[in-house]
Amino acid sequence: MKYKNDTQVQALKIYPTGYYVYYRINGKRRSMKLGSLDLPIKVARNLAQKNLGLVATGTDPMDKKNKLTLDEAFTNYVQKLTNKGSNSAKQYTAIYEKDIKKQFGNKHLDEISDSEIQTLHDKVTQRAPIAANKCLEVLKATYRHAKIKDHPIDGIEKNPEVKRKRYLTEEELNGVVKILNSKSKIPELTNSVAFVWLLILTGARCGEVAGARWSDLQDNKLTLKNHKTMRYGDDRVIYLSKQAMNIINALPRTSGTIVGIGSPRKFWDGIRKQINAPDLRLHDLRHSYASFGIGLDMNLSMVGNLLGHRDIAATQRYAHIHEKVSVENAQKIGDHIQKIIMNG
């Protein structure tokens, strides 16, 4: 198999299957895979030099079953998420930096015990039970990416989670809209205002609104190709009411994406503080959109289609009828929201 020598670390070889470091110890020549080509070259070089350092002290790095530190393994995993364009990268990094890194970052993967993980989980649970579960999720994903099947997270019991059922009240909706209207003329807030409006008027996920491009827009819908939120790589179609189209058409085409920002989270934190609703999340706007649809006597299938909950058993035979109904339903919800605002 052909390979290339790295230009900076002589012992580092680059094969089509990944990065390998070659070394000689106790009279034997050995090679060790450092990772796939998804790994940034800088990380591969650092890993190679670290393992060569062990060899220089007489330690064979291949003797360590889990040779990566948690910091290194997590960096590799986040890099993979980033390369895939996953929205989880930032969220996982925030969780790791806040609750995991300080305690375990410099430890090798095989040095972290299940009792230590349990202690971490118990400690974070005292502050935020759901955050504690997220720590387990991040750790498990990191070990899996490092291809370690037997890891200390197995057997740690998660805290029970009750799914939230939080919706905008009509009073809260009017409060949000009042703030959006008051901020709409401030140039630096234009994108954040539009982002929140589109969440309210489409029921789309934050990642869908953030990733929607001008090239996805056609007539009164956004078509996100091979979208990761859909099964089997199907397209995610977001149907746009006249109200939603008005928001989009008012935006300048200064970037490839329609809203031009990744998240309006800080802006939203200010809104929910002003309307005295500290527990109201951006994702709850999606719940509210669904509740508006149900309140207009739309069945679960109709609402599910607007939200992108694709029924994979649905036949293509009625696709054109289904789309027409979805467009009409999106408009009904848009009109309903506008009516609430006008009456407020």
Q: Mark whether 204 and 297 lie in a shared domain.
A: yes
250-266 pLDDT, tens digit per residue, is: 999 988 899 998 889 89
- What integer pLDDT is reported at residue 87 of this predicted model? 66
Q: How many helices (H) and strands (E) does the chain have?
A: 14, 7
161-180 pLDDT, tens digit per residue, is: 776 678 888 899 999 999 99
pLDDT at position 98 over 90 = yes
Q: Is residue 158 part of a domain?
A: no
Q: Give the C-alpha separation, 186 to 203, whole Å.
A: 25
Q: Mark whether 180 and 214 lie in a shared domain.
A: yes
Q: Is residue 164 part of a domain?
A: no
Determine what percent of the chain is predicted with pLDDT higher than 70.
Answer: 90
Q: Mark whether 103 and 231 lie in a shared domain.
A: no
Q: Is residue 157 part of a domain?
A: no
Residue type, 271: I
Q: Is residue 163 part of a domain?
A: no
**3-class DSSP state for residue 234?**
coil
Question: What residues pair up with 23 in beta bridges, in sequence order?
Answer: 30
Q: Mark whether 36 and 111 lie in a shared domain.
A: no
Q: pLDDT higher for 29 or 64?
A: 29
- What integer pLDDT is reported at residue 77 of this predicted model? 92
Number of domains in the chain: 3
Q: Mark whether 178 and 247 lie in a shared domain.
A: yes
Q: Mark whether 139 and 267 lie in a shared domain.
A: no
Q: Is residue 165 part of a domain?
A: no
Q: Mark whether 178 and 231 lie in a shared domain.
A: yes
The 10 Å Cβ neighbour count of residue 235 is 14
Determine what percent of the chain is predicted with pLDDT higher than 90.
Answer: 40
- What integer pLDDT is reported at residue 232 of this predicted model? 46
Provide the residue range defining the domain that includes 79. Answer: 71-145
Q: Mark whether 330 and 278 lie in a shared domain.
A: yes
311-344 pLDDT, tens digit per residue, is: 543 323 334 445 677 888 889 999 989 888 888 6
Q: Give the C-alpha separation, 304 to 298, whole Å.
A: 10
pTM given for the model: 0.57
Q: Mark whether 191 and 232 lie in a shared domain.
A: yes
Q: Is residue 237 part of a domain?
A: yes
Q: Give the C-alpha separation, 201 to 208, whole Å.
A: 13
Q: pLDDT higher for 125 or 88?
A: 125
Average pLDDT of span 37-56: 88
pLDDT at position 236 over 90 = no
Instruction: Round the average pLDDT of the chain to a whole number and report it.
Output: 85
Q: Is residue 85 part of a domain?
A: yes
